[in-house]
């Protein structure tokens, strides 16, 4: 039996009003338990936690509009709910003509009030669809002045060649859907135009398409992150010189053109640099030492993370790299090399060891496709000298094709703290064999590796099953001698 409200005995009228109000709430389905501000935050949390960003009527933020007038009013009054819109052309073109997609986007963002908005447009996969550049412009142009983020996943032919102004734009992401379906060279843009004619606040640009970034955006002092593709070494240096505030830069390089730029570039804020050669499936008659020559002209005193990937067999690589490493030796912490040719051909072991003696502050090192001739002197130096890579904490080897020698394991043991008096220990070691090298995965001394696990070195050897076996042996009271 429910307890009466304290005021019910003194004022029966109040009790009747509460009863009538409860009945109205029951019949209308409206339960004003939470204030509108809390309901608005619940809507925002539901929107941010969902994985599918498509604007479907059975999901947030459209779902509250269909529940009741009260929820609809709360949702429409919460402008933050409507600041993000992802448009999927394949679905929208089934509902109405392409020319009306812009009206839908404009109406959506009107509910966002005056807040900056983010738009993502994912174009159709069909080359023969009825969406053209003017339709895309009709979608973007009405809200261009309010956009702080723009994502386009489309065919490049859908882009309008006229400049657009984005005064609030901070992030631009463009992916070409059809870039791999046609000849890349023929699809390049040689027209001198910029899609973002004015974007003074642009901080992050991701351009995954066969187009020169210099012809697409205007690099500025505000840009801090850039990811591009198919830039020549000359264009990359020009881009870096025009973007002095860059903190992170990643790009694939076209090595068909020799380096003509011979002016030094100083990047005081650059911390991460990733340079990868264009896919090796592309055939080049002549390949130039563009990566090494470009790095020789780069001064990045704050560089912490360097990845050089997929590089060909370059001439004079040793001299240029030694010059560059001497400039970044005090700051570089993470170094990664990968190659289409055996590492011994590109990085002769004598030069390789010499480079690493300059990089005393390295904590993470990664090699891809190294040979025994390259790793043998590297591990020997690792064991002989405590000053060689004294700060090293993680060593990873990918696409390995050879046996993991006992000498390598002994060198790893010398880098643990137990019994060596070392203050900095090698904490992690990983080996991933290539398809041809899998036959060597079981020709390793599990007992020796288990002893490393006991010394608190995290090992990842080949596969998860191998890792589990090594950890099981390490937990034994005494490590058995295995055949």
- The most confident of the ranges 85-94, 177-186, 369-378 is 369-378
How confident is the model at residue 188, as a pLDDT? 45
- What pLDDT was estimated at residue 430? 84
The pLDDT value recorded for residue 126 is 61
Residue 69 within any structural domain of the chain: yes
Is residue 72 domain-shared with residue 119, that is, in the same domain? Answer: no
Given 151, 185, 218, the domain boundary residue is 218
Residue 162 phi/psi, 5° resolution? -90, 150
Quote the CA–CA distance of 380 and 406 in Å, as a whole number: 11
Same domain? For 118 and 188 the reply is yes
143 & 210 share domain:
yes
Determine the average pLDDT of the residues in 63-82: 70
Indicate if 177 and 191 belong to the same structural domain: yes
Question: 100 and 62, same structural domain?
Answer: no
Inside any domain, residue 364? no
Digit-coded pLDDT (tens) for 216-261: 676 677 888 988 877 777 888 888 888 888 999 988 877 767 777 7
* 183 shares a domain with 152: yes
Domain final position from 35, 54, 82: 82
Give yes or no for residue 418 having a pLDDT over 70. Answer: no
Q: What is the DSSP string of 337-359?
A: EEESS-HHHHS-HHHHHHHHHH-
In total, the chain counts a number of residues equal to 483
Instruction: For residue 81, give the DSSP letter.
Output: G
Q: What was the pLDDT predicted at 158?
A: 56
Same domain, 90 and 206: yes
Element holding 469 (H helix, E strand): helix 464-474
70 and 188 together in one domain: no
Please name the helix (run of DSSP H) or strand (run of DSSP E) that holds residue 235, with its range, or none.
Answer: helix 233-242
Check: CB of residue 369 under 8 Å from CB of residue 343. Answer: yes
Whether residue 328 lies inside any domain: the answer is no
CA distance 172 to 6: 62
| Dist CA 98 CA 93 (whole Å) | 6
pLDDT given at position 248: 92
Q: Is 166 part of a structural domain of the chain?
A: yes
Mean pLDDT lowest among 97-101, 126-130, 170-174: 126-130
Alpha-carbon distance 28 to 444, whole Å? Answer: 72
266-319 pLDDT, tens digit per residue, is 889 999 999 887 655 444 434 546 677 778 888 889 999 998 887 654 444 556
Q: State the CB neighbour count (10 A cutoff) for residue 193.
A: 13
Share of the chain above pLDDT 70, in %: 59
What is the average per-residue pLDDT within 342-354? 53
Residue 186's pLDDT is: 41
- Which pLDDT tens digit goes with each residue over 77-102? 777 777 888 888 777 776 676 667 77
What's the pLDDT band for 200 if we cut at 50, 70, 90? confident
Which pTM was predicted?
A: 0.74
Q: Mean pLDDT over residues 125-131, rounded?
A: 58
Q: Is the pLDDT higher at 447 or at 166?
A: 166
Residues 99 and 45 in one domain: no
Interatomic CA distance for residues 89 and 132, integer angstroms? 12
Which pLDDT belongs to residue 194? 52
Inside any domain, residue 43: yes
State how many domains the chain has.
2
Per DSSP, the residues of 250-288 read EEEEETTS-----S-EE-SS--EEEEEESPTTS--S---
Whether the per-residue pLDDT at 181 is higher than 70: the answer is: no
Q: What is the pLDDT of residues 400-414, one digit of tens each?
A: 777 778 888 888 888
Average pLDDT, integer, range 319-331:
80
One domain for residues 69 and 91: no
Asked if 99 and 73 sit in the same domain, the reply is no
pLDDT at residue 66, as a whole number: 59
On average, the pLDDT of the chain sits at 72
**Are 70 and 94 contained in the same domain?**
no
d(CA 366, CA 387) in angstroms, rounded, equals 19
- Would you say residue 231 lies in a domain? no
Q: What is the pLDDT of residue 305?
A: 93
- Cα–Cα distance for residue pair 229/148, rounded to 1 Å: 23
- Which of the pair, 297 or 437, is modelled with greater confidence? 297
Q: Containing domain of residue 189, as a range?
A: 86-218
Q: How confident is the model at residue 59 (pLDDT cuts 50, 70, 90)?
A: low
């Amino acid at each position: 039996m429910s307890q009466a409200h304290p005021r019910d005995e003194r004022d029966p009228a109040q009790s009747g009003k509460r009863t009538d109000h409860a009945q109205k709430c029951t019949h209308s389905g409206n339960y004003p338990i939470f204030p509108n501000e809390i309901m608005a935050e619940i809507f925002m949390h539901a929107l941010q936690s969902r994985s599918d960003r498509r604007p479907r009527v059975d999901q947030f933020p459209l779902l509250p509009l269909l529940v009741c007038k009260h929820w609809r009013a709360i949702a429409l009054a919460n402008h933050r709910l409507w600041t993000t819109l992802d448009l999927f052309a394949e679905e929208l073109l089934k509902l109405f003509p392409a020319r009306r997609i812009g009206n839908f986007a404009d109406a959506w963002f009107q509910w966002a009030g005056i807040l900056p908005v983010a738009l993502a447009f994912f174009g159709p996969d069909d080359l023969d669809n009825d969406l053209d550049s003017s339709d895309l412009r009709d979608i973007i142009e009405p809200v261009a002045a309010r956009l702080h983020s723009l994502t386009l996943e489309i065919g490049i032919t859908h882009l309008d060649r006229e400049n657009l102004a984005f005064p609030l734009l901070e992030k631009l992401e463009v992916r070409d859907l059809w870039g791999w379906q046609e000849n890349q060279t023929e699809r390049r843009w040689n027209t001198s135009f910029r899609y973002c004619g004015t974007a003074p606040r642009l901080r992050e640009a991701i351009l995954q398409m066969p187009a020169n970034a210099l012809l697409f955006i205007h690099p500025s002092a505000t840009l801090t992150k850039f990811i591009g593709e198919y830039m020549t070494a000359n264009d990359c240096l020009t881009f870096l010189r025009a973007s002095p505030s860059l903190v992170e830069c990643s790009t694939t390089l076209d090595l068909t053109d020799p380096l003509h730029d011979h002016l030094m570039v100083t990047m005081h804020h650059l911390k991460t640099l990733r340079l990868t050669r264009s896919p090796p499936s592309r055939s080049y008659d002549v390949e130039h030492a563009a990566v090494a020559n470009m790095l020789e002209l780069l001064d990045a005193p704050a560089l912490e993370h360097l990845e050089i990937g997929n590089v060909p067999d370059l001439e004079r690589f040793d001299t240029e790299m030694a010059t560059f490493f001497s400039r970044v030796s005090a700051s570089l912490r993470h170094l990664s090399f990968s190659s289409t040719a055996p590492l011994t051909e590109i990085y002769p072991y004598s030069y390789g060891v010499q480079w690493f003696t300059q990089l005393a502050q390295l904590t993470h090192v990664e090699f891809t496709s190294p040979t025994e001739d390259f790793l043998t002197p590297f591990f020997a130096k690792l064991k002989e000298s405590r000053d060689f890579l004294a700060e090293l904490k993680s060593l990873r080897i990918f696409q390995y094709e050879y046996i993991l020698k006992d000498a390598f394991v002994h060198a790893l043991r010398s880098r643990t703290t137990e019994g060596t008096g070392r203050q900095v220990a090698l904490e992690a070691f990983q080996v991933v064999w290539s398809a041809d090298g899998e036959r060597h995965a079981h020709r390793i001394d599990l007992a020796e590796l288990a002893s490393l696990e006991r010394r608190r070195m995290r090992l990842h050897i080949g596969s998860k099953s191998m890792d589990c076996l090594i950890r099981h042996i390490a937990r034994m009271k005494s490590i058995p001698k295995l055949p």
